[in-house]
Every structure is written in structure tokens, then in C-alpha cells.
Chains A and B, each alone.
Chain A
Amino acid sequence: MADGLGVDGLVVRYPAAGGGVTTAVDDVSLQARPGAVVALLGPSGCGKSSLLRAVAGLEPPVAGDVTWDGVSVLDVPVHRRGFGLLFQDGQLFAHRDVAGNVAYGIAGRPGARARVDELLTLVGLPGYGRRDPATLSGGERQRVALARALAPRPRLLLLDEPLSALDRALRERLAADLRSVLLATGTTALFVTHDQDEAFAVADEVAVMAAGRLLQVDAPARLWRRPADATVAAFLGYEAFVPADAPAAAPWRAAGGRLDDAGGRAATGGTLALYPGALVVAPGAGVRADTAAEPGTGAPAPGGGGLVDGVVVELRARRGRTEVVVDVPGIGRLTAHAPVGWTAPPGAVVRMRPDPEAVAGLP
């Protein structure tokens, strides 16, 4: 019997607008060992929230099973499952103060007050007990919601995009806090998000979901280096795909590095997936002199010495560095990195070096 959460062949359907049914979750199976934090990663509308709601008991599945320690919980009503839930907007009870919110799930139990103080300290809000939720910032509200969800010591905590409503800086800080709180309390958690940075920051395992189906489940690093297929890779941000044995892939294979690992698969007829930054405009390998004067006239060609030539489409400033969108023959459109302040006119041919760290091998 598997310990912890088990989801087995789960199917969730909704009545569709036209009178038919939409299958939101399509035969999904996964497991989470006690203490593990599992992220469900997918684009919006992929069914990840429906899966979460079905696990919580808020949606009845049409097929499949949800188990805890091997025992089905489908017949256990929501309030007896012992599965906590954290919504995107916290859903604090406006008519109770912060302590009243945190104490909701442990009302009447001995030591409830001490537990409230303990949790408020844990989430970094000591002394906030008497505050009105309306006076809190978005980040503080999510911290209170987290404390409230953890108070009854749920055997599983379900988090539905808990950080999505916050701005970027706060989101990154809270993601780190969230992980340390989950580790400190040893809470098993299923964490739904559409943001891969968030998933990688918080989770031990990431499950990628699309169109109701689970595509891949892996540890973050492994998922990153070995996407199961092009769909997963594209969702992770890989933007171009080249057959590993094509001449266009040669520069990355020659550069080695991380590719040694992936290349083993690639050598037997796989695909290389290129991430933004798979090409880097090196200071010494800039715009080819013969094309800079007359943009668009020089024909790009595979450069010598493991370098790659591409035609500049546009330049973007991105977080303190320059990104160059280039067309590379045999590969297509790619985003290359360039030093700060580097510039070239559209149509110019630029010479770049491959970075094997921004490449993954697909089977």
C-alpha cells in the first residue's frame, strides 16, 4: 500500500455550455509520499484546478479514485477528509479577525490559542491576531490564509495558485517562505501553478499537465534537462527543436557540456530542444563586417569554429541584458543573448557561439 496521496485514473467532467460535457481531468494518476511537495504545472484551463478540487472533494469525479495511505477517500465528505485548501485570493472570512480566521479549523480544541500564535509566528506575522483582514496587504492575507489552512494539521495541503495574485517580487519571496514553512511543518502538499519558476522553487516534484492529461512527472532538475516530449519542452519555454543528427545541431553537440548526458539520447535519433540563450553573441564574434554596411545582403551560413550565423529580426531589452531574436537557417527563430548595450540593425547577420547549458535532449 502506498503511503500518502494516491490519485488513480481520475476523470472529472463538467457540463459544457452547448449541452455536452467537457473533460477537465482525463485519466490522471499520480502519487505524493508523506512530506513531499508536488507541483501541478500547466497552462490555464488545463484541468489542474479541477484535479485539485476533485482531490479536495469539491468536485465529484466520474471515474477513478483518490486514496490516502491506500484507502479511498471518495466517500469521505470534504470536511472530514483532513485535506486543507488554499485559494489564490486567500478567501479570508471578512467578518472574523486574523486570529478568528486562523482558529476557524481548530475552534474548541485545547491549546487552540497557542496554536494560532505559533502559526502566525511561523508565517512571519506575530501579533497580527486582532487585525481586520481588510487592513492587510495581499501578501499578508496569503500568509494568514496559509496559517489558517495549516492550523488543523491537514494530512494534505492543496494550494490553488496561491501566489498568482501577487506582484513578482513578493511572489518570489513568498515562494521561498512557502517552501520553508511546508518543510518546517512536514506538510504533504499539492501545489497548482502556471508559473514554472514558482513550481521549481517550491516543489520536490513537478507534474506537467496539459488538456486534462498528465504529461510528465519528475524532479525539477530532471524535468528541466529531460522533457518527455516537445509539448512539455515548449511549455517550459524551449522555443526551437532540431533533429539531433541534423547539421544545424552540430555546434551544440561539438560544444559538449550538459549535452553529453542528453546527447546520448540524441545520438540515437532524438531531438535537441533549444532554450532562449542557446546562442550567445560573444564580444569577439559580433556582426560580420561584410554585412554591417549593407544590411540584408549577406547570406547567413554555418560559421566556422563551432560558431553559428543568424539574421537579426529584432532587439529587446530584458532584465538588464539584451535579447536578440534571430533567424537561423535549418533551425528557425531563436532568442539569443547579447551583452548589455550590444546593438545591430535588423537584417544584419550576427555570429554567435552555442551554449550547451541551454539545450535539452528529447527522445
Chain B
Amino acid sequence: MTTSLAPARPTAPAPVPHRPAPGGLAVRRVGRALGWVAAAGVPVAFLAVFFAWPVAAMVSRGFVTDGWLDLSGFVEVFSRPRTWRIVGLTLAQASVGTALSVLLGVPGAYLLYRCRFRGRGVLRALVTVPFVLPTVVVGVAFRSVLAPGGLLGFLRLDGTFTAIVAALVFFNYGLVVRTVGALWERLDPRTEQAARALGASPWRVLTSVTLPALTPAIAGAASLTFLFCATAFGTVLVLGGLRFGTVETEIWVQTTQYLDLRAAAVLSVVQLVVVVAALAVAGRARSRQDRALSLTEPVDATHRLALRRRSAGGDLVGIDRAAAAVTAVGVALVVVPLAGLVVRSLHTPSGWGLGNYVALAQPGGALPVSAWAATVTSVRVALDATWLALVVGGLVAVVVSRRPRAAGLRRAVGGLDAAFMLPLGVSAVTVGFGFLLVMDQPFGLHIDLRTSPLLVPVAQAVVAVPLVVRTVLPVLRAIDPRQREVAATLGAAPGRVLRTIDLPLALRGLGLAAALAFATSLGEFGATSFLARPDRPTLPVLIFRLIGRPGEATYGMALAASVLLAALSAGVVALLGRGRTGVVA
């Protein structure tokens, strides 16, 4: 075999020959760039038309008078004691709710992700159920337990601050457990073992090594919990009555009860500020977590739960007992309202039985449709919203998962990521009412989209897209870029790489994403309450109308319908998202 190699020339660098790019190449490059522009452009257009525009239209009602910017609304609204009371209540509820969720959730994460015991799988599934439950259902469930005559009626907590905070914790407990647990599960146990070998007690290891390592996950979970608490709508509206509320419910009250769009606009901006601040904290925590996680390898770090001093992990007894006790409280908080709801739904004016469920087939309480009809409407709407959210969210995830070479493009990709998080927290009520404002003759066209059957699904998809992005993106980001490089060197064009490398792996996350989008859409209430046509309400809207009416029969129907809705949401997530430990954050 003959070879010939020229060593590096010691002379000055050779001049780079100028080479005009052949036309075919230029066309291909332009084609690929156009592909990416389209992939980013479709979701951006969707977000602009169905989110930014309605929100801007709604907000501008408050600040534009006769074509001039008018900020006097701020002064006027903030001079009302009611506004300050609502803002204070929102922050107080969210702060207390977040603190309790974290205090209960972190020991739960330890127990469910670092210990082994019988029934752990069931408990893990159980604590995530509330997260996918419709907010209206959560409100109804808590009321069914706390109201006079309910399981815990003797506590006299119905319509109190405590009840609202408990419902918020119920809702977000699983989020904290899952987010923190997912990191805890992958934390390298050898760091802790090294600390133990240096003479640290289990408690000292926990406080000086483990918890600091978990800080990014805890901070991320806490900021998201704060976000969900601060923007809670359905739950607070059902539980709060006239005395309690959040900025979000107040926007609804100002819009629908007082028709004060200026106050609603001011409050929307206030909420936006809170949301952006919380998202910024969550984003920073997440990026720190990504970095921290890259340092660890998947190792089995679980130990058998040690509740007795003589069991295998004897020196962990103290920590395990404490975690088990706290988790028992958390699990009770999840189980009691759900059990109470189911039990109460079986209670009819004429004794125990399935009467309330039978009644779902008939239009009741002077409503135009039966609960079954509303269920069919809900499922149809949710199917449409799901595919919309999957297409838009999937495109966003694909674009955001790439790390372009140019710094400007990288920033643009980061901006896209952030922009699609906004619907998580921007008032759904604002979006819903904004839809009503702009979808009548949009762009000056003589059509009224307010009657389009796609209007409600589109609004719900806007709310569901962030969840889809958050579920699919980590899967795509976990793909080693060299997998795509290898595929390219084997002759695969960019389209084939996307189809044969990204897609098969993304499909794993897509099932869970679809389930979450479907559940979100099923339970969406804020925007839907504005947009659903009176003769075709979705199930949450119907439930809300039912509980607003007097009579034990209609109340029983509301409970039965809530059970139906809860079972539908949880069932879909359990079916499609089975075995997935993706972090919903």
C-alpha cells in the first residue's frame, strides 16, 4: 500500500481560494432556511393572532382613550381599596400556598423517589392526579367536603382563606413532588456517601449536601407553583365566594359583573408583571438544573423504606419516619377531597344511589343541555385543541431544541421559548374576553369567528401549548447531537434525520404531551366561560352553572358531573402518559 502525505507547510498560510458557491447549493441553503422559518413562523403566527392580539386588544381598552394613550386608569384603579385588597389576597394566597406545597412536597419527593416500599407506584400516580384535574372540579370537591354536612363540615372552613390555600396546595402538591423527585432520583448518591464517610450525620448530609443540590429543582417547582396559585381561577371562583379572590377572578368580576374593562385591563397588566417575574425565576432555576443534571449519571440510589430501627437502612430511620409522616398528610390532603366528592355524588335527595349520575342524561336546573351532551362537546373540543396544541407546541419544541451557531439566532430561539411560556400565566379570562373583542370581523373581514366551532379549541390550545413544549422539549434536548451527525454522514438528508432520529424519540414524549393537552383542554374554564356558546357549554362551564343554582338535585348533578370530568381527565393521562416520568415544568 502506498501512501503520500504532505506535512504542514512551514510557509505563510496559503491564500484561501475564492470559490463562488454553485447555484444548486445556494438554492438548497435557502430552502433549508425557509424550512426553519416556516417551522418557527407557524407557531409565532398562531401566538400572535390568538394570544398577543386578543390580549393587546383587551389591555388597550383600558389604556387608549380616543386614540391616545391614557394611563389614568392605573391611578384610578389603584386608588380603590378593593384593588389593594385583591392584590394582597393574591400574593398572600400564592405565598402561603407555595410555602406549604414545598414543605409538604419535598419530603414526598424523598419518600416516593428515594425510598422503596410496597405501593409506591400507586402513590406516585395518586399525587399527580390533582394536577390534571379541572380547576372547577377541585373547587367543587373541596366544597363538598367542607360545606356543612360534608365530611369535614364540622371544621367550619367553608368559604375561608384556609380552604382556598388547602385547595391550592392540593392542586400543586404533585407538581412539587414530581419536579423535585425527578432530580432527586438522578442525584448521584456517592456525593452523599462521601459526606457520610467524612463523619456527617444523615440529617447533616440532608441539609448540607442533598438539599443544596436540589435547590434548582425546588426553586423551579416553587416558582411554577406560585404562578399557578397566583393565577388560580376556577378553584378560587368556586371556593372564594364574594370575600376572597385573586387578580384573575377579579378580572372576571370586573369584566362580567361591573363591565369595567379599564379596571380589568389594569389588573391584566398587574398579573402579567407577576407572571413574568415568576417565569423568569423558573427559567433561571431550570437552566441551572440542566447544568447540574448533566453532571450526574443514572444510578439506582433508592433504599428500602426504614421505619423500624432494626431495618436495613437503620441510620435513616429518623429521616424516613419524618418523610413518611409528612407524606401521609400530603396524601390525605389529596385523597380526602376526592373521596368526599365521590361519596357526596352518591347522595341523592332520596337516599344513597346512582340517581345523580342517571340525572346527567337529562337537561337539569333549567339548563338547555344534559351533562352527557356537554361531555360530548367537551371531548370534541378537547380533541381539536389537542391536535392544534401538538402541532404548534411540537414545532416550537423542534425549533427551540436546536442550538444555532449564530449568537443572534440563538437569542431568537431563546426568545421563542420564553414567549410560548407566557400563556401559562397570562389571565385566561383576558384571552377569552380578548377573543370576543377581536374575532368579530378580524382584519376587517366580514366574517364573525365568534361563532366558529374552532374558536373554543383554539383558545384552549393557546393555554395547552406551553405544557406540550415543556413535555416534548426535554426529550428532544436529550438527543445527543452526534446522533444527527452520524445519520448525516450515513447519507441522511436533514428531512430524513428529523424523521428517523428526532421523531421516533419525540413520540415517547408526545403521548404524555397529548394527554396533558387533552386534560388541560377538558378542564379549561377561564377562557371557555366567555367563548362557549350558551347552548353548547363544555362540561366545566355546565358544572359552574349547576352549582350556581339552588336545589339539592342540581347540586348532586354538579357533583356527579365533576366526578365524570375528573375520571375523564385522569383516565386519559393515565392511559397515554403511562410510565412516563417527564417533568411537567
A interface with B by C-beta (< 8 Å): 2, 8-9, 11, 15, 27-33, 35-36, 38, 56-58, 63-65, 72, 74-75, 77-85, 87, 91, 93, 95, 104-105, 148-149, 151-152, 154, 158, 183, 204-205, 207, 213-219, 228
Contact = CB atoms under 8 A, between A and B. Distances in A.
Contact of B6 (A30, A91, A95): A30
Contact of B16 (A64, A93, A207): A64
B13 A72 contact: no
Interface in B435-485: 480, 482-483, 485
A93 B483 contact: yes
18 contacts: A9-B9, A11-B13, A27-B8, A29-B9, A32-B5, A56-B485, A64-B16, A65-B16, A75-B22, A79-B497, A91-B483, A91-B486, A93-B487, A205-B3, A205-B5, A207-B7, A215-B8, A218-B5
A204 B1 contact: yes
B5 A38 contact: yes
B505 A95 contact: yes
Nearest to B494: A79
Contact of B19 (A72, A204, A216): A72
Contacts of B1: 35-36, 183, 204
Contacts of A57: 488
Pick the most buried of A79, A80, A83, A105: most chain B CB atoms within 10 A of its CB: A79
Nearest 3 CB-CB pairings of A with B: A105-B490, A214-B8, A36-B3
B235 to A, nearest CB: 41
Contacts of A65: 16-17
B16 A30 contact: no
B25 A84 contact: no
B16 A63 contact: yes
Nearest to A228: B7
A158 B482 CA distance: 14
A74 B407 CA distance: 23
B298 to A, nearest CB: 13
Interface of B: 1-9, 13-14, 16-17, 19, 21-22, 25, 28, 407, 480, 482-483, 485-494, 497, 500-501, 504-505
B264 to A, nearest CB: 46
A72 B504 CA distance: 35
Contacts of B500: 93, 104
Contacts of A56: 485, 489
A203 B342 CA distance: 74
A33 B497 CA distance: 31
Contacts, number: 125
A351 to B, nearest CB: 41
B19 A78 contact: no
A316 to B, nearest CB: 29
A105 B500 CA distance: 12
B19 to A, nearest CB: 6
B145 to A, nearest CB: 46
Given A64-B14, A95-B505, A204-B1, A75 B25 contact: yes
Contacts of A33: 2-4
B137 to A, nearest CB: 38
Contacts of B489: 56, 78-79, 81, 83-85, 149, 154, 158
A72 B20 CA distance: 12
Nearest to A87: B482
B297 to A, nearest CB: 14
Given A64-B16, A85-B485, A93-B483, A149 B5 contact: no
Nearest to A60: B405
Pick the most buried of B5, B8, B22, B500: most chain A CB atoms within 10 A of its CB: B5
Given A36-B1, A78-B485, A148 B490 contact: yes
Contacts of B6: 29-31, 217
B490 A80 contact: no
Given A58-B485, A213-B8, 19 more contacts: A9-B14, A27-B14, A28-B8, A29-B7, A33-B2, A79-B492, A79-B497, A84-B489, A87-B482, A87-B486, A91-B480, A93-B500, A152-B491, A158-B489, A207-B5, A207-B7, A214-B8, A216-B7, A217-B5
A63 B5 contact: no
A23 to B, nearest CB: 11
B480 A27 contact: no
A82 B491 CA distance: 7
B13 A63 contact: yes
Nearest to A148: B490
Contacts of A31: 4-6
